[in-house]
Amino acid sequence: MAMMQQPIVPRSTTTLQFENERVTIQHELGRGAFGVVYRVQDVATFNLYALKAIPCVNALALQEAVREAEMLREISHPNIISLRGTKQVLDAQGQLYMFLLTDYCPGGNLNQRLPRSSNDQVNLTWMKQMASAVAYLHSQNVVHRDLKPDNVLLTSTEDVKLGDFGLARGYIALTQIQVNGQNTEVRYYMRSEVGTKYYMAPEVFRSDGYSEKADVFSLGVLLYAILERDFIRIDGKAYYGAFVNTYMGKIGLGFALAIQIPFTDITFLGYLSTYGSLQMLIRQALNYDPHNRPSAEQVYENLAAIEESFNEECKNEECNNE
């Protein structure tokens, strides 16, 4: 997905009043396909927040921005960013912007963090927090559809906050249809090919539909990235994930599976005995067949058990906690 280069917030828009905060824009934090994110500061309390500026170039773009805001208002989880307020602004050129004021995460994102080492306990904590957030979303019938290291934000204490819900959607696993005059429950599938290609599940590349299990595959990519620190470099930037070396070069695992490259597999270099069960869990999450993947809740439960086992081992021997 191409990165957005324009527009940015106009120079005249430097101070914004929200429901409970009046903030001034300090500097740009980053850009994505749907908007620009700034660091802002409350003029009264000096608290820092993140401000996402979404250009609404047409009615559909405005509808999508409103949907993202409404979704964030309805969800609440310690490992998901919180929405503080929204505002629509029309600039002097007639460009409409939707502003979303959210938590600010000074630790940056996971993709920026992964080049540096982290101990085993931190890795497991990140994994658990991400799985907990995704399991919560699915329990609320929400799919994220763009899980990737850039969208995993870190607080000052390096706790996870899942962000960027621009592609998230409400989701009903089962829907009712009429068959021969009778109501019958059938599984509902999404069909839009959206997301970031290096992290997408193989079924998203196909036209036969996908479910919330596509999020589980992307979660598996995140777990693998934390454990193995595999990456590709594009235009000088490293993107961490799960990749396969092919005749086309290094490509994302999901795409490799979608085009059925023979002998597609991932390798592990983990050294702790605890990581044997973790590697198995990651392989399950990255299964080609979505029906054979665990749910996000099952991933979380397994990670909790792995962490408990790891902590027991640490009581009896020296662990990698530097």
Residue of 146, 150, 164, 230 marked active site? 146
In a domain, 8, yes or no: no
Q: The tokens of 260 are what?
A: 């059925």
**For residue 7, pLDDT beyond 90:** no
Q: What is the CATH classification number for the domain harbouring 19?
A: 3.30.200.20
How far is the C-alpha of 94 from the C-alpha of 250, rounded, in Å? Answer: 44
In a domain, 177, yes or no: yes
Domain co-membership, 135 together with 68: no
**For residue 1, pLDDT beyond 50:** no
Domain co-membership, 79 together with 174: no
Percent of the chain with pLDDT over 90: 66
pLDDT at 174: 44
Domain holding 284, by residue range, is: 108-313
Domain co-membership, 139 together with 217: yes
Residue 227 is inside which H or E element, if any?
Answer: helix 213-228
Asked which of 81, 103, 125 is the last residue of a domain, the reply is 103
pLDDT at 248: 80
In a domain, 6, yes or no: no
HEC string of 264-320 equals CCCCCCCCCCCHHHHHHHHHHHCCCCHHHCCCHHHHHHHHHHHHHHHHHHHHHCCCC
Contact between 140 and 132 under an 8 Å Cβ cutoff? The reply is no
pLDDT digits (tens, 9 = 90+) for 129-157: 999 999 999 999 999 999 999 999 999 99
pLDDT at 206: 86
Average pLDDT of every residue of the chain: 87
- 52 annotated to bind ligand: yes
CA end-to-end span of the chain: 37
pLDDT at 177: 45
Contact between 60 and 67 under an 8 Å Cβ cutoff? The reply is no
Q: Is the peptide bond before 55 cis (omega within 30 degrees of 0)?
A: no
User: Which has more pLDDT, 10 or 189?
Assistant: 189
Domain co-membership, 221 together with 248: yes
pLDDT digits (tens, 9 = 90+) for 159-180: 999 999 988 888 765 444 445 5
In a domain, 3, yes or no: no
pLDDT digits (tens, 9 = 90+) for 241-273: 999 988 888 999 999 999 887 667 788 876 555
Domain co-membership, 138 together with 58: no
Query: What would you report as the CA-atom Rg of the chain, rounded to the nearest whole angstrom?
Result: 21
* Pick from 226, 233, 238, 244: nearest CA to 282: 226
pLDDT at 271: 54
| Active-site annotation holds for 265 | no
In a domain, 318, yes or no: no
Domain co-membership, 94 together with 119: no
- pTM greater than 0.95: no
pLDDT digits (tens, 9 = 90+) for 64-78: 999 999 999 999 999
Domain co-membership, 93 together with 197: no
Strands (E), 163-267: 169-170, 174-179, 182-187, 231-234, 237-240, 243-246, 249-252
pLDDT digits (tens, 9 = 90+) for 196-239: 999 999 999 987 788 999 999 999 999 999 999 999 999 999 99
Task: Work out how many domains the chain is built from and give that number.
Answer: 2
